[in-house]
Amino acid sequence: VSLICLNLPPDIRYKPENMFLYGIIPGPHEPPLDCMNHYLKFLIDEFLECWTPGVRFSRTHQYFYGRVALCALVCLVCDLVGARKTMGFGAVGHTQLCALCHCKRGLCGPEITDVHSWRRRTNEDYRESAQRYLNASDEKERQAIFKETGIRWSELLRLPYFDPSRFVVIDAMHNLFLGLVKEHF
């Protein structure tokens, strides 16, 4: 898990000295689905503090009397599997196979080509389903909600501005060069 400051000019933004390595998820196997939130909790705590009330710098080069800076997580870039785990989406084999729309396995496919008729998931849809999952009284109820919606709770939803329907980017290089395209279909 690494962070990049998008305020830096593009030519220096991705240099190792300007990137923040938050952590490395230990191997040799991927963590269970519900463990991603444990890795993200402390990072999200910091982003919440940097969003409200922000960080006050007592004095800067341009602002003699100081300045309040806000910090936001504006996108999540992962391969398909990482994005689904981090955001709490179901796997590609789940009945609710699409993270962007309410398309269900068996109802969408080559025989249905009018993608414009598919109802997109909204931030509100996503948050409502995730909140139901979080507030479930036991694991059995959580699994029933997940089976119905294809969504689990994600720590990223604690960020008031984060919109999972718009802020998740699938890294194309992982999909093409690592042969993950076949996992999409």
CA-to-CA distance for 101 and 119, rounded, in angstroms? Answer: 6
Q: Looking at the predicted structure, is the pLDDT value of residue 176 above 60?
A: no
Average pLDDT, the chain: 84
pLDDT above 90 covers what percent of the chain?
A: 44
User: What is the model's pLDDT at position 113?
Assistant: 66
Residue ranges per structural domain of the chain: 2-184
Q: Looking at the predicted structure, is the pLDDT value of residue 181 above 80?
A: no
CA-to-CA distance for 86 and 46, rounded, in angstroms? Answer: 17
Q: Looking at the predicted structure, is the pLDDT value of residue 78 above 80?
A: yes
Residue 88: how many CB atoms within 10 A of its CB?
27
pLDDT digits (tens, 9 = 90+) for 122-175: 999 999 999 999 999 999 999 999 999 999 999 999 999 999 988 888 877 655
Q: Which helix (H) or strand (E) covers residue 4, if one does?
A: strand 2-4
User: What is the model's pLDDT at position 93?
Assistant: 78
**Contact by Cβ (8 Å): 108, 118:** yes
pLDDT bracket for residue 107 (50, 70, 90): low
Helix (H, G, I), strand (E, B) or coil at 72: coil
Helix (H, G, I), strand (E, B) or coil at 95: coil
Q: Looking at the predicted structure, is the pLDDT value of residue 184 above 50?
A: no
The span from the first CA to the last CA of the chain, in angstroms, equals 27
Task: Tell me what the mean pLDDT of segment 100-125 comes to.
Answer: 74
> Which region among 54-58, 82-86, 133-137, 180-184 has the lowest average model confidence (pLDDT)?
180-184
